Amino acid sequence: MCSNIYIYIYIYIYIYPFQISLNKLIYQIDENPVNKEELSSFTGNRVIPQQNWDDYTTVDWLITNSIKRKTSDLWQRTVVAVYLTFCLEAGGYPITRDVDDNSQLDCTLLPFDWASTCILHHLQCISSNGHSLSLPEYIFTENTTTVHNNNTSDKQHKIPGIDLNKLTSTEISTCLYPVLSLINHSCDPNITNVTIDKFQCAIYSIRPIKQNEIIYGNYGLHYAVHSLNERQSSLQSQYHFHCVCQACIENWSPLITTTNSITNNNKDFQLKCITCSGLINFGTVTTLLDSDNKSSLKNIHYCQCSQPIQLKSLSKFQKLVYNDLYTKFNTIPLTFQKTSPKKMTNKFLNKFIVYTKQMLDTEHLYSILQRPCTTLDWLQEMLKQLLDLQHSGWSYESKIIRSAF
């Protein structure tokens, strides 16, 4: 009996408003074509904005995943939608519940069931399409330096700089960017989203993208941070899909992320031949792929070039990584610790951005290192941090202030 009542209430509150709203919608469009622009967000017309890039009508057609949602999820969102409609009505929004199927509709008033349906649509599409807008927060370290003066005694001055390794973020809001909803997820993305002026969002590549290669973003679940089970469970729960990216198919797992571990572990890489792009089997280089995933190993292309050609890749790796990049693992964060945030101008940041991009291009490390690779991951994360520092708003605070909260 209880289940029947539940189903009846569910049908009445969720299905019935959709049916009634559709009928009213068609009636208003047919009978009052002059006034339909007043409710353009709810007309259901696929109108492409011609003048304003931020036209809110584009939000109307974002996917809701209604069919894939659980009944309990739909029920909770329906109750919230109806409650919010009551709140709008109580707050003076032009909503009416006095609607008769045989009477003429007043286009200045929005039918209650129609408003509830629209809110229900938005509650679903936001959870599937919303992009988190966060404010990066850094800890600054007060580095003490000695200033030498011939006339007076030496003085100690504190120069605050930020610690790139101690980044947190505070979520401000959830934003809807309809264009970004066209970009699918990968646990090993090739682009990153950067919030720029006036909360607009820009897309930057974080590794080389070939012609006709698909652009992939990331929904907050990266193979270098989350395990395969964590990624699949979270993606299925919130976005209702099973990820089949390369990182999931080959079961890429979280890698070593600390700077010391990266520089001390000389087995954390797989070299590719600069001539044929095949993997070079030196015998001592271990694979980062899961040992149980035998199917992925069958598709690996190994280099058959002569040893002198293979040694060119090794020599290039030695020059780029051991003689250059490994020193940057320490010097770049140290430079930011010693530099006041006020002096972190575009010119200052561009110097590091150019270097990071260069190391990631096909003429440098990307041509000789096979993914997954902590070295490439570190460079990508560094590039994302630098882009955020250059374009996004961010804040910094002392260790004492942060420890108080």
Q: What is the pLDDT of residues 180-191, one digit of tens each?
A: 888 999 999 999
Q: Which long-range contacts (CB under 8 A, 24 or more apart) does 352-357 make?
A: 352/382, 352/386, 353/383, 353/386, 353/387, 353/390, 355/328, 356/382, 356/383, 356/386, 357/383
Strands (E), 17-98: 95-96
Query: Measured between alpha carbons, how far is residue 85 from residues 44, 81, 119 in Å?
Result: 20, 6, 8
Q: Is 337 a member of any domain?
A: yes
**Domain-ending residue, one of 129, 160, 179:** 129
Residue 387 domain-assigned? yes
Cα separations in angstroms, 396 against 141, 142, 168, 399: 10, 12, 10, 10
Token readout for 293 is 């995933």
Q: Distance between CA 308 and CA 105 in Å, rounded?
A: 83
User: Which of 94, 129, 164 finishes a domain?
Assistant: 129
- What is the Cα–Cα distance from 206 to 381, expressed in whole angstroms? 9
Residues 266 and 205 both lie in one domain: yes
Q: Note whether residue 268 is domain-resident.
A: yes
- pLDDT tens figures, 44-87: 444 555 556 566 767 777 888 888 899 999 999 999 999 999 99
Q: Domain check: are 179 and 85 in the same one?
A: no
Residue 134 lies in a domain: no
Instruction: For residue 177, give the DSSP letter.
Output: -
Q: Could you tell me if 167 and 41 lie in one domain? A: no
Q: Is residue 146 part of a domain?
A: no
Last residue of a domain, one of 129, 144, 164: 129
* Residues 157 and 123 grouped into a single domain: no
140 in a domain, yes or no?
Answer: no
- Please give the structure tokens belonging to residue 227: 């395990």
- Whole-Å CA distances, 390 to 136, 332, 343: 12, 16, 12
Please report the pLDDT score of residue 51 as a whole number: 57
Per-residue model confidence as pLDDT tens digits over 112-140:
888 898 889 888 988 888 888 887 777 76
pLDDT band at 397 (very low <50, low <70, confident <90, very high): low
Residue 39 is part of which domain span?
Answer: 2-129
- Number of domains, the chain: 2
Q: What is the pLDDT of residue 188?
A: 96
Contact present, 235 and 221 (Cβ < 8 Å)? yes
Residue 137 lies in a domain: no
Residues 226, 319: one domain? yes
